[in-house]
Amino acid sequence: MSDYDFYDAQSEASQIKTRIVTKYFWFWSRVMISHARRQKCNLAYFDLYAGPGQYKDGTPSTPLIILEQAIADPSLRKLLVTYFNDNEHAETLRENIYNLPGVSTLSHPPIVSGEDVDSQFEQIFSSIRLVPSFTFIDPFGYKGVTLALMEAVLKDWGCELVLFFSYNRINAAIENKTFDEHTEKLFGRTRLRNLRSALVGRRPFEREALILDAFARALKEMGFEFVLPFTFKRSDMKRTSHHLIFISKHPLAYTVMKEIMAKESTDSTQGVASFSYTKSLSRDETPLLYVLDRPIDELGEDLLEKFAGRTMSMKQVFKRHHIGSRFVEKNYKTALLQLEADRKIQTSPPPSKRKGNTFGDMVSVTFPNR
């Protein structure tokens, strides 16, 4: 699809992507506003591949929606600094922002540039201490997207990132030596070499799992433990087009984004959101992604094994288990209710003393020894 066609009208996939980003930005800004007031600092939103700001049919895209949220909120209106970059659409974006109702009420006028995203961006972000910032990197391909850039925008407190991971293009480039300069910056030279060896003879779903896991490992080694991908399939639903990857240092941020992505999933199995994942490999080959493809039927058994001999609240079970899985809080309550019905756990208070068929946050669970 050409750039011209892409911006004619918003596709359903783009709608989902925009909702995920803007819903999370709203949560993030609510949390960060109180910090900004205490520290007497601003908040920032960076969009490095912003596009024109709206589609030709008039539908606003992420930049305008973010600004509309800021305009509507007195605190954000005062505190938010915004920077939008696009090397093809800067003039159109600037015009669309200028025509946005209420934009003049922002204490910090939006900054728009038309630069290529390159090593200069890495150097600038690396050289300054960032205020709490939310960054969206949404390129058509992968040029300019590097581990160094992600580390630079994530290095300071309160900084989080959503990345468009162009899987179909990255997958094709990994084994093409012509693109070594770009793929090495995305995975690291040694990791790319090992990845190429691991991909030999693999089927498509195995390649996808290994590539995502290698990227997640690179981020984790830099200190960004919480990595959560949301997959977009092609229209034939047989191949992955791209992933929207959330990267954070904070478990609460991860938990909230997981809930947002779960609600935007197009299907679920036994109440567990799909996140559109393809089949994962074994636990040994891709430990970071293995549990993302497990059905809820296995959740109860895993809890029995992991927490054997322990007594803890439902909330503690959730917090200590859900990182790296696609399970959200309600899935744990469902699994624990089933274990309780099967008399595989003991609970306090017992079902007879709880209102309705519920499993509250503070219900105590005792897992038997194994």
d(CA 155, CA 166): 23
* Predicted local distance difference test score (pLDDT) of residue 126: 96
* Predicted local distance difference test score (pLDDT) of residue 359: 87
β-pairing verdict for 268-269 and 160-165: unpaired
- pLDDT cut 70: percent of the chain above it: 91
Residues 6 or more apart from 352 whose CB is under 8 A from it?
none
Where do we find the tokens 């540039």? 113
What would the DSSP string read from start to end of 294-308?
Answer: --THHHHHHHHHHTT
Residues 6 or more apart from 344 whose CB is under 8 A from it?
300, 304, 368
pLDDT (tens digit per residue) in 153-191: 999 999 999 999 988 899 999 988 899 999 999 999 999
d(CA 55, CA 57): 5
Secondary structure class of 230 (helix, strand, coil): strand
d(CA 134, CA 43): 8
* Predicted local distance difference test score (pLDDT) of residue 278: 38
What would the DSSP string read from start to end of 78-97?
Answer: HHEEEEEE-TTTHHHHHHHH
* Predicted local distance difference test score (pLDDT) of residue 106: 98
How close are the terminal C-alpha atoms of the chain, in Å?
Answer: 56
d(CA 45, CA 31): 14
Residues 6 or more apart from 31 whose CB is under 8 A from it?
none
d(CA 97, CA 103): 7
Q: Which of 103, 5, 13, 88 is nearest to 52 (CA)?
A: 88
β-pairing verdict for 272-273 and 346-348: unpaired
Cβ–Cβ under 8 Å, residues 138 and 232: no
* Predicted local distance difference test score (pLDDT) of residue 4: 44
As given in the structure block, the two tokens for residue 194 are: 């090992």
Residues 6 or more apart from 5 whose CB is under 8 A from it?
none
d(CA 211, CA 214): 5
Secondary structure class of 139 (helix, strand, coil): coil
Secondary structure class of 232 (helix, strand, coil): strand
* Predicted local distance difference test score (pLDDT) of residue 96: 97
Q: Which of 175, 266, 11, 136 is nearest to 277 (CA)?
A: 266
Cβ–Cβ under 8 Å, residues 44 and 82: yes
Cβ–Cβ under 8 Å, residues 84 and 111: yes
* Predicted local distance difference test score (pLDDT) of residue 287: 58
Cβ–Cβ under 8 Å, residues 347 and 363: yes
46 beta partners: 83, 135
Where do we find the tokens 């480039």? 173
pTM of the full predicted structure?
Answer: 0.86
As given in the structure block, the two tokens for residue 177 are: 């030596």
Whole-angstrom CA distances from 262 to 106, 272, 328 are: 33, 8, 8
Residues 6 or more apart from 48 whose CB is under 8 A from it?
85, 117, 121, 135, 136, 137, 138, 139, 144
Asked whether the CA dihedral 65, 66, 67, 72 is positive or negative, the reply is positive
Q: What is the pLDDT along the chain (370 residues), one digit of tens a residue?
A: 444 455 666 778 888 899 999 999 999 999 999 999 999 999 999 999 999 999 888 899 999 999 999 999 999 999 999 999 999 999 999 999 999 999 999 999 999 999 999 889 999 999 999 999 999 999 878 888 999 999 999 999 999 999 999 888 999 999 888 999 999 999 999 999 999 999 999 998 899 889 999 999 999 999 999 999 998 876 555 677 788 999 999 999 999 999 999 988 877 777 878 766 334 455 566 655 555 555 777 899 999 999 999 999 999 999 999 998 889 999 999 999 999 999 999 999 988 888 777 789 999 999 999 8
* Predicted local distance difference test score (pLDDT) of residue 2: 45
